[in-house]
Amino acid sequence: MNKVNFNRATVDVGNILAMEHVNVTVPDQPLATLFYVNVLGFTRDPYMDFGPSNVWVNVGRQQFHLPTADAQVLRGHVGVVVPDLKSLLVRLQKIGKRLKGTQFTFTERKNHLDITCPWGNHIRCFSPGSFGKSQLGIPYIELHVPADAAPGISRFYEQVMGCRTNLNKTKKQCEVLIGKEQFIRFKETRKPTAFYDGHHIAVYVANFSGPHRYLKDNNLITEESDQNQYRFQTIVDPNNGTVLFDIEHEVRSLHHPMYERHLINRNAEQGFFNYQDGRDAFTPQKVL
Ligand SMILES: [Fe+2]
């Protein structure tokens, strides 16, 4: 018999199994498509097509949803893994010129690229291997929250949502673990928190009714969308009901028709002048 003492708890997974999309409205679809598809190298969802009123952009198993309206800006940044950071840099330098006159900017860091979209959303791009096995995807979002909010946020996600969380030693940062290799990081800031403009995230949960019961009892449900989806916006401290932060969550059950939907991703290296037959689709590279 094997006498190794395995720590089984290290591979437990909390109640939120996936963060599927980040939704920020954009005022100009062609410009948004130029940024998210042409510059960042992601893929316009070929099946869910809304015409000029919305565009869904696939990033591995995650998406950006970009309905047309006045710009919304996430209060923090979106962490993204791209297949090739070097070729992203080339596209930022070349195609990025067409975004002159907007808030678009980018900065090379030691192991990532900090990019600002034309309307001020911050996106941090990493190489494959930075977050588990992901070679293309949205492994995390970081949200900037008011001072002293992190411990209560940790309690909310543990006690209400049924997640595992990591509160750091200073208790000023809390990471909510999602599925095998995603997370939401809530980081305290002393700067005044920006006005919440209604952007949202979508998550899938195993226990759908448990969080709903608490949220309903505390008047926190903002939308009863359908049998497999509800929404809430305000994160409160379950100890005393103190309001801590606002970000709308689209909460979906595993019976939602779009759970684990197969998303099409292209190979952003393909171009008119370097076209290679049979290499149109994104294919994960062999892990050495
Ligand atoms: Fe959504």
pLDDT digits (tens, 9 = 90+) for 22-49: 999 999 999 999 999 999 999 999 999 8
Identify which has the larger pLDDT, 154 or 288.
154
Q: Give the distance (Å) from ligand 1 centre to CA of residue 21.
A: 7
Q: Give the distance (Å) from ligand 1 centre to CA of residue 250.
A: 6
pLDDT of amino acid 3: 82
Mean pLDDT for all residues in the chain: 96
Q: Give the distance (Å) from ligand 1 centre to CA of residue 63.
A: 10
Q: pTM of this prediction?
A: 0.96
Between the alpha carbon of residue 71 and those of residues 27, 29, 42, 130, 140, the distances in Å are 6, 11, 20, 30, 21
Strand ranges across the sheet with 200-205: 43-44, 56-59, 62-65, 16-23, 200-205, 243-253, 229-236, 221-226
How distant is the alpha carbon of residue 269 from its chain centre? 24
Q: How far, in Å, CA of 38 to CA of 127, rounded? A: 18
Ion ligand 1 neighbours (CB, 5 A) are 23, 202, 250
Q: How far, in Å, CA of 284 to CA of 164, rounded? A: 29
Q: Give the distance (Å) from ligand 1 centre to CA of residue 286.
A: 33
Dihedrals phi, psi of 151, to nearest 5 degrees: -60, -40
In the chain, domain spans: 15-253
Query: Which residues lie below 8 Å from residue 58, measured CB to CB, with a gap of 6+?
Result: 42, 43, 44, 45, 263, 264, 265
Give the rounded percent of residues in the chain with a pLDDT score beyond 90: 93
Q: Give the distance (Å) from ligand 1 centre to CA of residue 253.
A: 14
Per residue in 230-252, pLDDT (tens digit) is 999 999 999 999 999 999 999 99
Per residue in 92-129, pLDDT (tens digit) is 999 999 999 999 999 999 999 999 999 999 999 999 99
CATH architecture of 15-253: Roll (3.10)
pLDDT of amino acid 1: 65
Residue 288, pLDDT > 70, answer no
Q: Give the distance (Å) from ligand 1 centre to CA of residue 51.
A: 17
